[in-house]
Structure 1
Amino acid sequence: MNLFLDAIAWLFSPERLEGANALPVRIGEHLYYTFVSLLVSAVIASPLGYYIGHTRKGREVAVALSGAARALPSLGLLTVMALLLGPARADVAAIIVFVVLGVPSVLAGAYAGVQSVDPKTVDAARAMGMTEWQILMKVEIPIGLPLLIGGLRSAALQIVATATLAAYVGLGGLGIYIFTAIPLRQYDVMLGAALVIVALALLLDALFAVLERLATPRGVLAAKHRNISARPNRARETVEPSRA
């Protein structure tokens, strides 16, 4: 309990708002690496996921590559990339590692969103004379958008937690507090920085949850509400005959 109170006191001390090592500066750096990596992940994985979902081709290869990317140790990969690119490009090395971490979730969300569309809806669009491109852009992507945002949500949580490693190669972010406090055994600093990272993760999770809700088409929401309201009626219909 005393350690927790010490961490809170460290967070709200006046020194946290002053100088180049101020907490708002480190939070800004942390979010910068997170959002840049998430954006690059989306640019790479979304078109590929849409292609896989629409054509039903290459899913097994994508799943295998995604699993392999998730299995890579982030710290080891960051060390290798930093050594290959050199200290001057440590930021590029860090973003590459975070992108590798974020691509699998975005890819899964993209193709799962397209594949979740009812085949009858796609057939109806073809019967109306829509081209494959129009079906993808006007039917499959809008309906599957919530699942894509769900993939972005998962990727954002993974990246914001792993972005702590940016400090390992001499960059900023909230990880700088942790890596500098470890040799000095400043446990209150480590806990305080960890609490801020957890708070950022919770805020991002809430933000993407709201976006996921807003991206759900009204027709899909209405169908879900109808199904939920119909379940009690169906349950009564099955129970009443059994009583008789």
Structure 2
Amino acid sequence: MNVLSDAFVWLNDPLNWTIRGGIAQLLQEHLWISAASVLLACVLAWPLGLWLGHIGKGGGIMVAFANLTRAIPVVALLTIFPLIAAIGFGQRPIILALTIFAIPPLLANAYLGVRQVDPGVREAAKGMGLSPWQVLTKVELPLSIPYLALGFRTAAVQVLATATLAAFVNGGGLGMIISRGFGLGMASGGDQILAGGILVAALCLVADGVLALVQRWVTPKPLRRQNVAA
């Protein structure tokens, strides 16, 4: 209990928030790294997932790729990427590693979102003279929005939690608080370690709650009722 109370004392110290390299700055870095990674993953994963779902092919390859990227430890990527001359050090290798980590849920949910569209609706759209591109953009894409939102929510929370590992390569973020605490030793830095863990956990919970509301907001009302019935 002493460590827990000391952690809250550490969090309530204004100096720990405002100094250079303090909580406020590290939180900003953490959010920037996570946001850049998820947005880049969306640019790469969503078009591919939507197109594969539209043509109904490549599902097995997509699953194999998703499993492969999940099997690669993020820490290994964070260690390897800075050693590649074209990537270098700094936040670039961290964002690239987290992007690879965020692709599987985005890709899988984009694919599933299109495949779950009622074939009758798809055929009716084709019967009205819509081109394959129009079927994808005007029929399948709107109906797959709940799946896209779910994939984005999953990827964002996972990346926010995993971005803590950026501290292993001195990449900034809230993980630096935990890393500095371990540097002081458990006796002196235990409160700081626990405080860093509390901050990361709270950030993930807040992000999940906000994105859950966004997911509900972007889901059309008829689809909301279907989800509730299911």
- Which TM bucket (shorter chain)? over 0.9
Match of 1:198 in 2: 201
Checking the alignment, whether the CA contact within 8 Å between 1:46 and 1:107 is kept in structure 2 is yes
Where has structure 1 moved over 6 Å in runs of 4 or more?
A: none
Distance in 2 of aligned mates of 1:223 and 1:197: 34
SS of 2:4's partner is helix
Distance in 2 of aligned mates of 1:165 and 1:145: 31
Structure 1 residues 40-62: Cα deviation after superposition (integer angstroms, max 9, x where no partner): 00000000000111001111111
Distance in 1 of aligned mates of 2:67 and 2:115: 19
Residues 1:221 and 1:171: Cα distance change in structure 2 (over 3 Å) = closer
Checking the alignment, whether the CA contact within 8 Å between 2:81 and 2:87 is kept in structure 1 is no
Match of 1:141 in 2: 141
TM-score calculated relative to the size of structure 1? 0.88
Match of 1:175 in 2: 175
Q: Percent identity?
A: 37
Highest Rg: 1 or 2?
A: 1
Structure 1 residues 110-164: Cα deviation after superposition (integer angstroms, max 9, x where no partner): 1111111111111111111111111111111111111111111111111111111
Does residue 27 (structure 1) correspond to residue 27 (structure 2)? The answer is yes
Match of 2:105 in 1: 105
Distance in 2 of aligned mates of 1:81 and 1:19: 30
Distance in 1 of aligned mates of 2:85 and 2:68: 22
Residues 1:21 and 1:223: Cα distance change in structure 2 (over 3 Å) = closer
Match of 2:63 in 1: 63
The one-letter amino acid of 2:196's match is: A
Aligned length: 227
The one-letter amino acid of 1:10's match is: W
| Unmatched 5+ stretches in structure 2 | none
Residues 1:10 and 1:87: Cα distance change in structure 2 (over 3 Å) = farther
Residues 1:169 and 1:140: Cα distance change in structure 2 (over 3 Å) = same
Distance in 2 of aligned mates of 1:132 and 1:114: 13
Checking the alignment, whether the CA contact within 8 Å between 1:16 and 1:23 is kept in structure 2 is yes
The one-letter amino acid of 1:179's match is: S
Checking the alignment, whether the CA contact within 8 Å between 1:125 and 1:135 is kept in structure 2 is yes
The one-letter amino acid of 1:83's match is: L
Does residue 209 (structure 1) correspond to residue 197 (structure 2)? The answer is no
What RMSD, in angstroms, separates the aligned Cα atoms of the two structures? 1.6
Distance in 2 of aligned mates of 1:221 and 1:162: 31
The one-letter amino acid of 1:203's match is: V
Offset of residue 222 of structure 1: 4.2
- Mapping 1:144-163, distance limit 5 Å: 144-163=144-163
Structure 1 residues 200-226: Cα deviation after superposition (integer angstroms, max 9, x where no partner): 10111112111111121223234456x
Residues 1:142 and 1:11: Cα distance change in structure 2 (over 3 Å) = same
Match of 2:9 in 1: 9
The one-letter amino acid of 2:96's match is: I
Checking the alignment, whether the CA contact within 8 Å between 1:85 and 1:93 is kept in structure 2 is no
Distance in 2 of aligned mates of 1:176 and 1:222: 44
| Unmatched 5+ stretches in structure 1 | 229-244
Offset of residue 86 of structure 1: 8.1
Distance in 2 of aligned mates of 1:220 and 1:6: 47
